[in-house]
Amino acid sequence: MQTIGRPVPRKEGRDKVTGQARYVDDLIFPEMLYGATVRSAVARGRIKKISFEGNIPWDEFTIVTAKDIPGENCVALILLDQPYLADEFINHPEEPILLLAHPDKHLLEEARRNVQLEIEPLPAIFTLEDSLNRKEIIWGEDNLFKSYKVEKGNVDEVWQSADFIIEGEYETGAQEQLYIENNGVIAIASPEDGVTVWGSMQCPYYVHKALLKLFGLPEDKIRVVQVETGGGFGGKEEYPSMIAGHAALLSWKSGRPVKIVYDRAEDMASTTKRHPSWTKHRTAVSRDGKLLGMEIDFVIDGGAYATLSAVVLSRGTIHAAGPYSCPNVRIKSRAVATNAPPHGEERFAESNKTSRQKKGMGFASFMHGAGFTGSGEKYLESVVGAEATADGRVRILAASTEIGQGTNTIFAQIAAEALRLDYDSIEVAKPDTGAVPNSGPTVASRTCMIVGKLVESAVLGLKQTLSGSGLLKENYTQEDFRQACRSYIEQHGALKSYSKYKAPPGINWDDEKYEGDAYGAYAWAVYVAEVTIDTVTYEARVDDFVAVQEVGKVIHPILAAGQIEGGVAQAIGYTLFENVVWKDGRMINNQMTNYIIPTAADIPPIRVFFEENPYAYGPAGAKGIGELPMDGAAPAILNAIENATGASINHIPLMPESLIEALGGESG
C-alpha cells in the first residue's frame, strides 16, 4: 500500500484538535516554582549595583546571578561569547542579568519590578554603518562576527566590455517569527541527579550541548525532552538553550522543578529575530541578455553576540547570486555586531529583487539549498535509529522535532513506504536526548531530505537484518513482518538499526575557498504576485499569488502545500506589514497590537503547484521545502509594485509610510 504522495492523517493531529496535546504551560510538576528573568534596560553598560527593594518577602525567593553558575557562563553554540547571565558588562537591551523563582507567579512579577539595577551606560551602536565604520568597537577587534568571500572567473575585467551595468542597494528588516506558543521550559536539576529539561524547541541536542558546558556535567547527566511545540520558524533554534539554562540554574539552586514561560511582550522583545540586511549588487549584462558578471556585497546585523550569524551569513552568501548562470562572480559578505538583542535564524529569505487603484504583476525565480550549508552535514554526522517491536511495530528514533510542519507524519510515511507496511504501524519516538540519537537540528530545510533519507536507510536496515536471519522472505505481508520481528526478538533480543549520514557521491565542498557543492540539492521555484496599490492610502494589497516549485517527490501533498501557503503568507508579512520599531536597540512595538502581521483577510488565494523531479539521494526522491517559500514573495511583490507604479523599491518592509515617499507623495 502506497503512503508516499498520499494525504494520510497527521500523527499528532487527533491530539491537537481534541486538546489532548500537552504544551509546556499545560504541565504542572509537584512543588514547582515559577521563574522570571530580570533584564537590562540599557543597550550597553556596566553593572554597578543590584538592590532588592519594595515590600517583597525576598527570603522566599530563589535568586540566581552569574556567581551561581556551576560550569561556564556561556551559551555553547558556534562561539562562546554569549553569557547566560551578564556578570559585569551589558551588551544589549533585555540582556538577562538575574533570575528569580517563587511558587506564586503573580508575586514573582511584583518582585521582578522591584529589583533595582544600577547600570553605568557605555556608548552603543545600532546600525550597520556604525558597526562597519567601527564607531565603537563592541565585539572582538573589529565588530566582525564572520566574513566570506566567493570568487569565480574575473569580475574586474567584465565592466569594460559590458553593454549595461545595473547597480542597486537593497535593505531588509528584522522579522519576528511569532510562533503561536511563546518560549517555555520546565527544568529539574540537582548535583546528584543531573539536569532534565522539558521544553518547546527545534533542536534538543543544541540545548543538550549548551547545558553540558553550563553545568560541567557528563553527557549522560543531561537530558533534554521536546514537548509539543507550537511553532518555531527558526525562532526556537538557539534561544531554547538560553531559557532552558535559566530554568535549570533556578532548579539547581532551589532544589525544586522550575517553569519559565515568557509572555508575548518578553518573547518579542528578548528573543532572536531575522537578521536585518543590506546588499549591494553590481551586475554586468550584454546586449543579448547574458549575465557577464556580478559583484555582491552582503552585510547582516547579528546583534550583540555571534549566535548563528555565521551560518545565516553562509547561506546568504551562497544564495546571493540567485539561480543564474554567470561566468564571473565576486561575493563579499560580513556579519557585524550591534548593541541589539542577538538575531537568530528565521526561515530564510533572500530579496535579490530585481484611477486610485493601480494594479501590477511581478515575478521572481529563485532556488533554495536543502540541508546544512557547505560541509555542515558532514560535521553534523546525523544519526537516526529504528526499532522493531515483537508485535511488528516500528519506532523511529530521531531528535528531529515536530513543530507543526509534519516531521512525525512524513517520517512514518517514509518508513512505511520503505518497509511496505501500514502507515499506522509506524510510530515516531518523542525527541528525548536520553532515548534518541542526534539526528541534528530541525532547521535548514534538512528534515525531510537529509534526516528522512536516514529514516529510510535505518528501517531498511531492520528489513535486512530480518532477511539476513532468514526470517523474512522477499514478498512479505504485514503479518509476515510481525512474525519475523517476534521470532527475531525471541532469538536475539532487541531489533534495532541505526543509519549515519554520508555525503552523496560527487558532492564536495571546500571550506577554505568557498567552492564546490554547497548543497546536495536545491529546490527551484517561480512565484508570481498580483498587487493593487491604493493611491489614497498608499497601501499595497496582494490580490493573487501563484507559487510553482520543484521540490523533488512530494511526500505529503497537503502538508507540502501548507508549508508553501504558510511560507508565502509569512513572506507577505515580511514584505508589506511587519515593521520592527527599534529604539536604542530595543524593539518597542513588542505586542501584537502594534507589530502588524497580516490577518487571513489580508492574504490572497495562494495557488500552489508542484513539479516533481525525484532526487536520487532524498527519501523516495524528496528534497527540502521548509524555507523555500520565504525567498520568492518579496521580490515578486516588489516587482509587481514597480509594474503598477513605476517606482523601484529596494527595501522591505515596504510600509505605506515609505511607499508614500517612493511615490513622491503623489495623491489620488
Partner 1 sequence: MRAYLPEYELKPAASLTEALTLLSDEPGVWKPFAGGTDLMVLFEAGKLLHKKFVNIWNLPELRGIEVTPEFVTLGALTTYTDVQANEVLQQEFPMLCQAASETGGLAIQNRGTLGGNIANASPAGDSPPALLVYDAELELVSTQGSRFVPYNGFHTGYKQMRMREDELIKSIHLPRVSKPLLHYYRKVGTRKAQAISKICFAAVTQVDASEIKEIRIALGSVAPTVIRCSRTEDVLRNRKVNAETISAARLELAREISPIDDIRSTARYRLRVAQNVLEDFLTSLN
Residues that bind partner 1 (CB under 8 A): 105-107, 109-110, 113, 263, 265, 356, 535-539, 577, 581, 588-589, 591, 593-594, 596-599, 601-602, 655-657, 660, 665, 667-668
What gap in Å lies between CA 543 and CA 545, rounded to an integer? Answer: 7
22 and 225 in contact (C-beta within 8 Å)?
A: no
Q: Which is nearer to partner 1, 163 or 661 (CB)?
A: 661
Q: Which is nearer to partner 1, 413 or 570 (CB)?
A: 570
What gap in Å lies between CA 34 and CA 56, rounded to an integer? Answer: 16
329 and 152 in contact (C-beta within 8 Å)?
A: yes
Among candidates 81, 78, 101, 77, which has minimal Cα distance to 89?
A: 81
For cell 528569580, what's the residue?
100
Supply the minimum distance, in Å, between the C-beta of residue 127 and partner 1.
19
Supply the minimum distance, in Å, between the C-beta of residue 42 and partner 1.
20
Q: Which is nearer to partner 1, 464 or 667 (CB)?
A: 667
Q: Which is nearer to partner 1, 591 or 648 (CB)?
A: 591
For cell 545600532, what's the residue?
126
Supply the minimum distance, in Å, between the C-beta of residue 54 and partner 1.
10
Supply the minimum distance, in Å, between the C-beta of residue 23 and partner 1.
17
Supply the minimum distance, in Å, between the C-beta of residue 340 and partner 1.
17
What gap in Å lies between CA 642 and CA 645, rounded to an integer? Answer: 5
β-strand partners of 266:
none
What gap in Å lies between CA 495 and CA 493, rounded to an integer? Answer: 7
Q: Give the 3-state secondary structure of residue 480.
A: helix
* 193 grid coordinates: 541527579
Supply the minimum distance, in Å, between the C-beta of residue 592 and partner 1.
9
Among candidates 375, 541, 398, which has minimal Cα distance to 456?
A: 398
What gap in Å lies between CA 536 and CA 431, rounded to an integer? Answer: 52
Count the neighbouring beta carbons within 10 Å of the beta carbon of residue 509.
18
* 668 grid coordinates: 489620488
Supply the minimum distance, in Å, between the C-beta of residue 175 and partner 1.
16
Supply the minimum distance, in Å, between the C-beta of residue 589 and partner 1.
5
102 and 60 in contact (C-beta within 8 Å)?
A: yes
Q: Which is nearer to partner 1, 110 or 157 (CB)?
A: 110
Supply the minimum distance, in Å, between the C-beta of residue 585 and partner 1.
16
* 364 grid coordinates: 521572481
Q: Which is nearer to partner 1, 88 or 666 (CB)?
A: 666
Residue 653, preceding bond cis, omega within 30 degrees? yes
Supply the minimum distance, in Å, between the C-beta of residue 586 and partner 1.
12
Supply the minimum distance, in Å, between the C-beta of residue 38 and partner 1.
13
What gap in Å lies between CA 152 and CA 327, rounded to an integer? Answer: 7
Q: Which is nearer to partner 1, 114 or 190 (CB)?
A: 114
Supply the minimum distance, in Å, between the C-beta of residue 598 and partner 1.
6
Q: For the chain, how long is the longest CA-to-CA vector? A: 83
Q: Which is nearer to partner 1, 99 or 551 (CB)?
A: 99
Report CA torsion sign: 481, 484, 490, 495: negative
Among candidates 622, 618, 608, which has minimal Cα distance to 567?
A: 608
Q: Which is nearer to partner 1, 492 or 583 (CB)?
A: 583
Q: Which is nearer to partner 1, 356 or 492 (CB)?
A: 356
Q: Which is nearer to partner 1, 494 or 581 (CB)?
A: 581
Where do runs of H (alpha helix) occur along 68-189?
105-113, 128-132, 158-161
> DSSP assignment of 597-648, as one string?
---GGGS--EEEEEE----TTSGGGB---SSHHHHHHHHHHHHHHHHHHS--
Q: Which is nearer to partner 1, 2 or 594 (CB)?
A: 594
